[in-house]
Amino acid sequence: MQFEVKGDVMQCVVAHMQAGEEVRADVGAMIYLSDGVDINTKITGGIMAGLKRAFSGATLFLTHFNCTAPSGMAAFAAHYPGHVRQIDLNGDAWICARDSFLFCTPGIEVGTAFSQQLGFGFFSGEGFVLQSVQGTGTAFLHGGGNLVDYDLAPGQRLRVEAGCAVAFQQSVQYNVEFIGGLSNALFGGEGLFLITLTGPGRVTLSTLPFSRMVGAIMHQATLNTNHGGSGLGGILGN
């Protein structure tokens, strides 16, 4: 199977399949497909596996795209602007944010990754659980803005704003850290807690998490509402 990434700041991935090949995607991720590719939405792996996915914030169902023609294609994209990252697994696992999974090949299991520390669930803003992708095959993840990769050495630590963590290898330890300081709490604008990621392992970060983008839009919308619009539109509206 061949994969083709299209676009710059609003990327999609096209899976080019041969007869009998299949990919499995999050519900609503498909944007187009060719003739000869059948669609079958079901609870992949049984009801317990589906419930685990739902508990982690994903969908209960996965949509299967099976190529029944000599060749076919299906394209997938996330619901907000960003980039995609291909993850090739050989029996290992990655931990990822709840909304980052896009699609995968058979042999990959999408499940639940329980937080290693209770405080992570209370203070990180990501809930008690994250998603995991594991097995043998290829998975595609998505993050807002651009994606930045770091390879952490054993014991090397990176402190990250919660929404910016897209995915990291299972070997990476994660926890939450209180920033501290009255001025930081009142005026810092970064929140009171950061996620700490400790190597060894690879980490993928997002430069524009969806939560931050939504927050900026809502803030601007509130300002426009309170001030009767902005710019020329606001002036004419008054």
- 115 within 8 A of 39, measured Cβ to Cβ: no
- What are the structure tokens assigned to 84, written together? 């995609």
Taking 70 as the threshold, does the pLDDT of residue 235 lie above it? no
Query: Would 114 be classed as within a structural domain?
Result: yes
The whole-number pLDDT of residue 188 equals 47
The CATH code of the domain that includes 19 is 3.60.160.10
Please count the structural domains in the chain.
Answer: 1
Name, in order, each residue with C-beta under 8 angstroms of 218's C-beta and a sequence gap of 6 or more. none
Predicted confidence (pLDDT) per residue in 164-216, tens digit: 999 999 999 988 877 655 554 554 445 567 889 999 999 999 998 766 666 66
Residue ranges making up the domain that contains 157: 2-207
Taking 80 as the threshold, does the pLDDT of residue 22 lie above it? yes
DSSP label at 153?
A: P
Rounded to the nearest angstrom, the gap between the alpha carbon of residue 36 and the centroid of all alpha carbons in its chain is: 29
pTM of the model: 0.78
Cα separation, 123 vs 206, in Å, equals 19
Rounded to the nearest angstrom, the gap between the alpha carbon of residue 156 and the centroid of all alpha carbons in its chain is: 24
